Amino acid sequence: MLPLVTPGQLAARSEVYHQLSSLISAGIGLMPALVHLKTHASNRTERAMLVEILAGLDHQLTFAEAIRRLPRGIPDFDVALVEAGETSGRLDASCRLLAEYYRERARLGRQVLTDLTYPLAVFHLAIFIFPFSDLFITGNIGVYLGKTVGVLLPIYAIVFAGLLALQGRHSESWRARMEKVLNRIPVVGSARQNLALARLAAALEALLSAGIPILAAWPLAASASGSPALKKIVADWGPALASGKTTPAQAVLDAPMFRGIFAAQYATGETSGKLDDTLRRLHTYLHEEGVRKLRFFSQWVPKLVYLGAMLWIAYKVVRFYLGYFEQLAPLL
């Protein structure tokens, strides 16, 4: 299995969750739904994963426990959201949320790759063309490879390492460090925070609607958000909430990560007794805002890469002509 998750794999995962949500919503039990998906699986990897999940369920594991034990590794975010869905009796809603999440990630990934095709082609063409004059004069293929492949390989290694570091299969401490780094990036940081809060709102609404006590619902919803920072903040509330020294609304208002529309609307919803409706509206608004920002970022990344390639080419052209004129100067 590839160490990096591709847009195609994300789309396939989205489709599995979408079909599972549809089958459960139609009144089909979890086991028959998974058997149906296994029978009609589109590839071997997907079928093997479903076989392993069904084996876990046969051994009296919950769905969340079964996917947690998959040898290929499922992100903790998936496990937490599935666990929240099982606990609340709203597994179909959790699967639907996961389907939307992976569908959007696949779409953004494909858009970035498509938009990067031209600027990367220009960059590679420039890398191989500029040293060609020296190869033509000297015939030294080793020097030419050093100036071309020798430049590209470190760039490939850095990009690959960066993508590998951002995968969701790492430990929570690693993901927490990566979250701190990504949250400092303009647009990306606020988009990720919006999406994490949107997932938290959706999970919390499902849990509360199912009658789960609010003190038990908050830690589950924080885990389902996929944000280690949110999970830690909510875990730190535990003693104060359990002793009655503070309320969830006051804790939300005091936490910097919740400040803004989430804190204000949550406090209003808790005071008015319409928290379920408030959380649904918060999920919709924050999800749309997060997706909008990510789309904006994904559209500008290829443009910035293209601009960088053009500036580098311009630098090489100017440098070439300066060297050429320096050689002509003694003859003039």
Written as tens digits, the pLDDT of the chain (332 aa) is: 445 678 888 888 899 899 999 999 999 999 999 999 988 887 788 888 889 999 999 988 999 899 888 876 677 778 888 888 888 888 998 899 889 888 988 988 888 888 888 888 888 888 888 787 777 777 788 888 888 888 889 988 998 888 887 776 677 788 888 888 888 888 888 998 999 999 899 888 888 887 888 888 899 888 888 889 999 999 999 888 888 888 888 999 988 888 788 999 999 998 888 998 999 999 999 999 998 998 898 888 888 888 887 888 888 778 777 776 777 667 65
pLDDT score recorded for residue 25: 92
Contact 85, 190 (CB under 8 A): no
Q: Which of 56, 52, 67, 69 is nearest to 98 (CA)?
A: 67
Contact 4, 156 (CB under 8 A): no
- The structure tokens listed for 274 are 């319409």
**Measured between alpha carbons, how far apart are the two ends of the chain, in Å?**
64
pLDDT score recorded for residue 24: 93
If you write DSSP's letter for every residue of 72-125 in order, what string do you get? Answer: T---HHHHHHHHHHHHHT-HHHHHHHHHHHHHHHHHHHHHHHHHHHHHHHHHHH
Alpha carbon distances (Å) from 223 to 25, 160, 193, 227, 289 = 24, 28, 14, 7, 21
Q: If DSSP codes are grouped into helix, strand and coil, which group holds residue 232?
A: helix
**Burial class of residue 226, CB neighbours in 10 A (0-12, 13-18, 19+):** buried
DSSP category for residue 185: S
pLDDT score recorded for residue 1: 44
pLDDT score recorded for residue 138: 77
Give the chain's domains with CATH numbers. 7-99 (1.20.81.30), 188-289 (1.20.81)
Distance CA 21, CA 32 (A): 13
Distance CA 264, CA 249 (A): 9
Contact 210, 88 (CB under 8 A): yes
Distance CA 235, CA 24 (A): 31
Q: Which of 228, 216, 109 is nearest to 168 (CA)?
A: 228
> Locate tokens 């209003």: which residue?
268
pLDDT score recorded for residue 332: 59
pLDDT score recorded for residue 216: 87
- Can you give the C-alpha Rg of the chain in angstroms? 25
Contact 206, 88 (CB under 8 A): yes
For residue 225, report the phi and psi dihedrals to the nearest 5 degrees. -70, -25
